Structure formats: structure tokens, C-alpha cells
Chains A and B, each alone.
Chain A
Amino acid sequence: MTRSSDAPKAALTRLFIARFSNGSLFEIRFDPTRVSEITRDKLPWPVTDRDWGIILGRLRAIAIESGRRMPASKPRKPGRIKAPPGSRISAFSEYCLSQKVRERIVIPVISDMREEYYAALASRRRVLAVAVKIRGGASLCVALVGHYTLALLLKWLVGAFASGSGSSR
């Protein structure tokens, strides 16, 4: 458990109190503009890996607060804005599919895929998220093929019955 507070006397000195795993309290006074210079070997007492992790985390937070970054932290890639999965298919279906098929088949399949995709991303399972996208596309293909095959089959059956009853008269 850690807590930090500003030192009342020196404006540049920050006081950081850490309660370590052995229950003891330590005080670290440091200059927030020179946070990156603090290394494990510079500490006046030996610390465990866990405690050093706590100190490092807190120091990084303070460094970010004061507008500086620790050199240990990797520079992040700039974020990429992506369209949600299925948005292109949804837009394309507006032109080539009927409103009924769109509302009853295309949109429910895409919304289910998105639900699963975002759930996978939220649990940091990126491979699963990609698998969900592939499975969603396959489901949509199966659904559309199934729908149109069934419609054709029904049309053919109705036509066959109609012609059969016509010829029997």
C-alpha cells in the first residue's frame, strides 16, 4: 500500500511514503523533475522485487503527473481509429439486399458479432476477437445462402404444386 503527499517545506521535493511487504514504512524524498534518475541500486536499503515494483509504479505515476516520462517506459504507438466490425457489410447490404432481409438477418448477425468482439477485446483476448470476426463473416454467409436457398426452394415447391394441381383438373 502506498501514499504520497507534497512536502510542505520544499516545493520541489515530493515525499513518498511506502508501506512495504514486511510492514515497515519508508520515506523517499525526491525531486519530481529528476524522477528518471532513481534506480534500484541508488536506494539506501535493499528492496524486494515486489516492493521495487510498487515504488516504480508510483514514481512513474508522479513522473507522468509532472509532465515527464520515465525512460524505461516504451513510447506508445499512436492509436488507430478502426470502424467497428461489419460496418462495411452493413453499408453494402443497404444497396443489394431488401429491408426485410437486412433487418431480420444481416443486422442481428452483425450486432451479435460486435457483442462478442467487444467482449473479447475487453478481456484482452485479441486472438479470440479476430476469430469472432471471421466466424461472424462466415455466419452471415451461411445465413444469407440459407435464406435465399430456402426462398428459392419454397418458390419452386409452390410452383410445382400449382402446376401439379392445374394439370390434374
Chain B
Amino acid sequence: MAPKNQDSPVRLSGKEYQILEMLIRNGEMYGLQMVQESNGALARGTVYVMLDRMEDKGLIESRKDNKPLGMSGLPRRLYKPTGYGAKVVRHWARLQDLAALAPQRV
């Protein structure tokens, strides 16, 4: 899904940054996998709301998981970062590095 407006500034929360970083590191992931890998930083209840918002922002994209033949049930959803999401993470990390280097007021 294309972002609504790429020129407008993107707000990225700490958890959104963590999700994006995790997706870039591991490729496609399920929501539950992200919850398990975050070691308690992400909750089962809030992760999908966050993923939904991120999809609206164009940072990630999702698809239904293809079930193997003979398996039934509800399809699971796989998430992966978009090119725009990867770009945002790169810039965000660079900004954080610059912020760490900046002189602090005493």
C-alpha cells in the first residue's frame, strides 16, 4: 500500500521503530512472532492496532498466508516492510545517532 503522503513528516513511536527494525532484520513475520520476539515490549492486544496504523502510513505491507493443501481455518497475516518503511528506519537511526552526538546543555 502506498503511503498517503510521502512529503508529510512521519511520526514514528518507539514501538513502531522496533517493529520496523524487527521486520527488516527477519523479513516476513506474523504478529504473534513479533510479540514473542519483543520479549514483552509488544502486547498481543496492541500489536495489530499498531500494525494497522503502520500499514495506513505505508511503512509496512501485509498479505494473507497461503495455507498448505488440506489445512483449513482462518488465514494468518504476514507482514513485511515496504521500501518507504526501510528508508524511514534508516533516516530515523541516523537522526538518533546525530542526537546522541549533539552537545548537551548543563
Contact residues in B for A107 (Cβ distance below 8 Å): 74-75, 77
Assess the A146–B74 pair: CB atoms within 8 A: no
- Chain A residues, Cβ within 8 Å of B45: 109, 138-143, 146
B48 touching A104, Cβ below 8 Å? yes
Q: B: which residues have CB within 8 A of A? A: 30-32, 43-46, 48-49, 51-53, 55, 62, 73-77
Query: Which A residues fall within an 8 A CB radius of B?
Result: 84, 86, 90, 103-105, 107-112, 114-116, 135-136, 138-143, 146-147, 150
Taking A110-B74, A111-B76, A142-B44 as given, write out 6 further A-B residue pairs in contact, using a Cβ cutoff of 8 Å, ordered by the A residue number: A104-B51, A105-B49, A112-B31, A112-B44, A139-B44, A146-B49
Name the residue on A nearest B47 (C-beta): A143
* Interface of B, helix, strand, loop or mixed by DSSP: helix
Cβ–Cβ contact B51 & A135, under 8 A? no
Residue in chain B with minimal CB distance to A145: B45
| B23 CB → nearest A CB, Å | 15
Q: Is the CB of A112 within 8 A of B32?
A: yes
Instruction: Please give me the residue from chain B that is nearest to A140 by CB atom.
Output: B45
The complex places the Cα of A142 from the Cα of B74 at a distance, in Å, of 20
